[in-house]
A and B are shown apart, each in its own frame.
Chain A
Amino acid sequence: MRSTTSRRVAATAAALVMGAGLAACGGDDGGTTNTAGGTSPGEGNAECEGLTEFGDLTGTSVSVYTSIVAPEDQPHIDSYELFSECTGAEVRYEGSKEFEAQLVVRARSGNPPDIAYIPQPGLLRSLVEDTGAVVAAPDTVAANVDEFFGEDWKSYGTVDGTFYAAPLGANVKSFVWYSPSMFADNGWEIPETWDDMVALSEEIAAAGDMKPWCAGIASGDATGWVITDWLEDAMLRDAGAETYDQWVAHEIPFNDDAVAGSLDRVGEILLNDDFVNGGLGDVRSIVDTTFQDGGLPILAGECAMHRQASFYAANWPEGTDVSEDGDVFAFYLPPTNDQNGTPVLGGGEFAAAFSDRPEVQAFQTYLASDLWANEKAKATPGGGWVSANTGLDVANLVSPIDQLSAEILQDPEAVFRFDASDLMPAAIGAGSFWREMTAWVGGRSTQEALTNVENSWN
């Protein structure tokens, strides 16, 4: 019995391999699936659905290269156990803080990893265009992504019509951190509109106990990214997702009036000495404060609000109660008008492959499944991880902020857009955009800062 099964699998495998050859000739935009043949170790295990078709992968290994280092790497490594159980393949994890620079060097020199977790779609694009080393995702991955992710998420893993990389984790950037107890003590309400938020800021500033906002944008050679998030959030609310997309694609100039208007809106808060920088100094102290320290004055009662992504949860000191009735929590950054729905700004990573060996494709397929999303959630007992995977059971997430993030990400009403600076070419998104926003806080005019970025984009 066993031998017939394996023969059948082998025949299927041969057919698929031949199919791969044909597809390659035809220039199909999706990749085909390769299998190793043999009987998968996961055969008969209900949990291994979708992975057994890759055959027996025992003895093979897949190398994964990421920017995620200790302590956040362990939950990732733990989440691969089920994959190894199902396929027999081993996963070798390597995290590096020099990931972005090293990945390009490795791809150019012909020594890429099998899989890389890429946090910027812009980097994926330059890898595809400049090195040609990225391999299109196989059909099995595309099928999973179609089933579990929205169109928008799939498009961020797609370059010029070819789908390469499935989304992994995600984060929500449209959050304002606050202290629920402080708000309750003062009788402040969570603002429902941007104008309410500014009115609340004025109320807090007038009371004189503290400044309403605190912020920090220093982040080594990435200094300035915090302001780009502010601007993008304001853009999505003021001008809507369509204009935002045109701006990202450089179909409208970087210094378009819509952009300038939104940056001025941000300036009403961040460049206002009455509003910032609670517990830290004046406006310009924003530049000298690391983004990790930017929200901490909330705990000391010296600042009321701090706009920062969901991942800021990890920056609160140990023992801080991060929940709706706790020491700190976050509310959704309110919209500026009711024309553009509920815009959500966020980010995430994508799994790009540099090889089409069966074990690599099997691993890609696993990562794109609801199976992995839930395994990863369960393997992260400390919280701090979310995915836009609709198959992710929110009950598997432990921390309240993760649950809130997942709800926002899975909300069909939400208009999700990826962080623009991660989508733009690196020289802009991780270069002049950051630099000019830093200079803007230092006193450069809105028009001059935006025009400088526009001029650097050619």
Chain B
Amino acid sequence: MTMGAGEKFLQMLAVMAIFVAVLAVVLVLTSRVRSTVGRFLQTTAFLLPAGLLLLLGLLYPAVRTVVESFRDRASREWVGLANYERIFTDDALLVVLRNTAVWVILTPILATGIGLIYAVLIDRSRFERFAKALIFLPMAISLVGASLIWKFVYAYRGTEQAQIGLANQILKGLGFDTYRFISDPPWNTVFLIVILIWVQAGFAMTVLSAAIKAIPDDIVEAARLDGVGGWRMFRHITVPSIQPSLIVVLTTITIATLKVFDIVRTTTGGNFETSVLAYEFYNQGFRAFDNGLGAALAVVLFALVVPVVVYNVRQMRKVEAR
């Protein structure tokens, strides 16, 4: 039976009211019991809702995805490891894996590197605030927005035609032939990576700049007195002092890169050998309707993200402990 939006809304409110009421009752009851059992009950009462939601919203879909990755395209019959076998043998899917690797290696290193150098260069300069705002601004743009902007920058027309893309207009102005930034593999993947670096470098810069400012002045002064300056200061004082922050930034950008979907979808739609895992699993699961392969790709992505997330969380704790 169909249900109006109003009706659904009412149901939602009712469920929320019941939830709050139950919670209130539990709290009132447990607050009266002042014993270890009471404390246990109280803790459980607080944790239970969040635990249930995690179970329902995170654990259940994750387990189901894993199960579906061993089933056929319509999730009806078991196919064993066939879906995984396809990922690692199919030519088109191997290109996807290759692209994902290129993204994951290039983006964090370049974005963090650019952010770090920028943060060091502008540190305590007269234009620091302005310079920071300049590189931080792209962070405020959504990835789809950023991709659309860059799609215009990269737009291609034949050399003899009037140009509509900034990058090709510059090439033409310099006397070069125009270039297909988006549709010429394998370099097009690199030009897509530029978009994510453009967005993420600001994040790296902000965090690392704060870390640099937190380096105790006495260390810097002691080094100066010993005659350390320039490159050696950067290499032996700055970088080691901000290492935990550096790792957090690197891993955070790695996670963001593994999830990159928006850029690929907006600029190429996965064409011209630019697809990555995060896009391909959507493509297989929701456009080609191959549930099994889509789920298997998602599981592979998950397996790649988990170690990075674990490492990231550990490093974050280290930074916080300082």
Contacts and interface: CB of A to CB of B under 8 A. Distances in A.
A associates with B: yes
Interface of A: 61, 63, 92, 100-101, 104-105, 114, 126, 129-131, 219-224, 277, 279-282, 284-285, 287-288, 426-427, 430-432, 435, 438, 442, 456
A288 B288 contact: no
Interface residues of B, number: 28
Contact of B288 (A220, A277, A427): A427
A456 B91 CA distance: 10
A287 B184 CA distance: 10
Contacts of A63: 2
Contact of A279 (B161, B180, B284): B161
Given A221-B271, A281-B160, 4 more contacts: A100-B287, A285-B158, A288-B183, A431-B287
A223 B266 CA distance: 12
A104 B74 CA distance: 11
A221 B161 CA distance: 26
A220 B287 contact: no
19 contacts: A61-B2, A105-B286, A114-B2, A126-B289, A130-B73, A130-B74, A131-B74, A221-B271, A221-B287, A280-B158, A281-B160, A287-B183, A288-B156, A426-B287, A427-B288, A430-B287, A432-B92, A435-B92, A442-B183
A435 B157 CA distance: 21
A426 B289 CA distance: 7
Given A129-B74, A442-B183, A223 B271 contact: yes
B206 interface: no
B270 interface: yes
Contacts of A284: 180, 183
A105 B2 CA distance: 17
Contact of A285 (B2, B157, B266, B268): B157
B272 interface: yes
A130 B272 contact: no
Given A221-B269, A285-B157, A130 B183 contact: no
A101 B287 contact: yes
Interface of B: 2, 73-74, 92, 155-161, 180, 182-183, 265-266, 268-272, 283-284, 286-290
Contacts of A426: 287-289
A101 B265 CA distance: 14
Contacts of B268: 223
B291 to A, nearest CB: 8
* Consensus secondary structure, chain B interface: loop
B182 A288 contact: yes
Contacts of A287: 180, 183, 272
Nearest to B165: A288
Contacts of B161: 279-281
B183 A282 contact: no
Contacts of B160: 281
Most chain B beta-carbon neighbours within 10 Å: one of A223, A224, A288: A288
A221 B286 contact: no
A43 B283 CA distance: 49
Contacts of A279: 161
Contacts of B265: 220-221
Contacts of A435: 92, 271
A220 B73 contact: no
Nearest to A60: B2
Nearest to A221: B269
A450 to B, nearest CB: 15
Contact of B157 (A100, A280, A442): A280
A72 B92 CA distance: 37
A61 to B, nearest CB: 6
Nearest to B155: A288
A220 B92 CA distance: 18
Contacts of A282: 158
Contacts of B2: 61, 63, 92, 114
A130 B155 CA distance: 40
A430 B286 CA distance: 11
A92 B5 CA distance: 11
Contacts of A224: 271
| Interface pairs A-B: 8 shortest CB-CB | A281-B158, A221-B269, A130-B74, A427-B288, A101-B286, A288-B156, A220-B269, A223-B271
B6 to A, nearest CB: 13
Given A114-B2, A280-B161, A281-B161, A431 B288 contact: yes
